[in-house]
Structure 1
Amino acid sequence: MEIIDFKILESLTKDAQKSERRRKNMNYHDGESDPVQRMLNAFEPGTYVRPHTHLNPDKREVFIILKGKLLVIFFNEEGAIINHVILDSESEIYAVEIKPGEWHTATGLEPGTVVYEIKDGPYNVLDDKNFAAWAPEEGGINAQYQLKQWLDELHLDI
């Protein structure tokens, strides 16, 4: 049995806040070969996740909000925003399922944001994500600028 409580969320949040990436995950699956990847994922404001999709092999990805607010942005093939959702238990939007082939990114909108993430496995670093050529690499000089542009386009502040 695994219990996810406030202490675990707080510990993960502290680790994310100390991380250069501004996020941190805690795995619950039994390893990379597990057919269902399950984890807690803490997203602090300002974390940049390079837009990607999951194809070849096709994988679904699900985010369920546990604490805070998570912005998930969807793009077309050229990198234009086509949709977005803010997961926030107070607004009663609790989860999003991302289908294979949907270009997406996510970032925290408030400190202490933690989601339960579920993704089809197995995990293979070589084919887990298909990164968007039209978006800066994580840690690159333009990554934070790009994140700010998306937030401005959606009229959101962090």
Structure 2
Amino acid sequence: MTLIDQTLLDALSTEARQAPRGRKNRNFHPSDDFPAHRLLNAIEPGSYVMPHRHLDPAKGETIVVVRGAVGIVLFDDEGAVTATHRLVAGGEVVGIDLPAGTWHSVLGLQPGSVFFEAKAGPYVAMQAAERAPWAPAEGDAAATAYQTSLAQRFA
């Protein structure tokens, strides 16, 4: 048993702030090959999650913000933004269920933001067809400017 309390959220957020990628997850599923993945993700402003999709029809994902605020950006196949959604813990919209195949990115909008994520396992590394060809890769020199342009949609 694990209690999801402020102490756990604080510790996870501290790890995210200290991590080079500005995010950290805490898995509740026992292994990567487990059929159901349940995890907390702490994400800080400025963390870049490259736009991606999950092509496996079983890999839709549900995101519910438990602290702070998270931005969800949806794209079409050419990379045009089709929608943005601000998810705020305790707000009017706290979560989103994304069907498999949906191009998306996730942004931390406030320091200390944490969301709960659920999706089908097992873990499979992202394939080339699941990475947005129109977006810079993580670590690419253009990634910071691209992430900033996405974050400005929530200003």
Q: Provide TM-score, normalisation by structure 2.
A: 0.94
Alignment check: 8 A CA contact 1:71 1:85 kept: yes
Q: Does 1:8 align with 2:8?
A: yes
- In the other structure, the counterpart of 1:136 is 136
Query: How far has the Cα of 1:92 moved from its partner?
Result: 1.9
Query: How far has the Cα of 1:39 moved from its partner?
Result: 0.6
SS in 2 for 1:100: coil
Alignment of 1:48-127 (within 5 A): 48-56=48-56, 58-125=58-125, 127=127
SS in 2 for 1:53: coil
SS in 2 for 1:63: strand
Query: How far has the Cα of 1:5 moved from its partner?
Result: 0.5
Rounded to whole Å, the distance in 1 between the matches of 2:137 and 2:126 is 16
Identical counterparts, % of pairs: 36
Rounded to whole Å, the distance in 2 between the matches of 1:146 and 1:140 is 10
Rounded to whole Å, the distance in 2 between the matches of 1:127 and 1:59 is 13
- In the other structure, the counterpart of 2:42 is 42
- In the other structure, the counterpart of 2:147 is 147
Alignment check: 8 A CA contact 1:57 1:127 kept: no
Query: How far has the Cα of 1:89 moved from its partner?
Result: 2.5
Deviation digits for residues 34-61 of structure 1 (CA, Å, limit 9, x no counterpart): 1111111001000000000000354111
SS in 2 for 1:16: helix
Look up the equivalent residue of 1:123 and give its one-letter code. Y
> What is the CA RMSD across the aligned residues, in angstroms?
1.6
**Mean Cα displacement is larger for which, 49-58 or 130-139?**
49-58
Aligned CA distance change for structure 1 residues 138 and 27 (closer, same or farther; 3 Å): same
Query: How far has the Cα of 1:126 moved from its partner?
Result: 5.1
SS in 2 for 1:52: coil
Look up the equivalent residue of 1:24 and give its one-letter code. K
Query: How far has the Cα of 1:127 moved from its partner?
Result: 4.4
Over 6 Å off, 4+ runs: none
Look up the equivalent residue of 1:62 and give its one-letter code. T
Which sections of structure 2, spanning at least 5 residues, go unmatched?
none
Q: Tell me the matched-pair count.
A: 155
Look up the equivalent residue of 2:148 and give its one-letter code. K
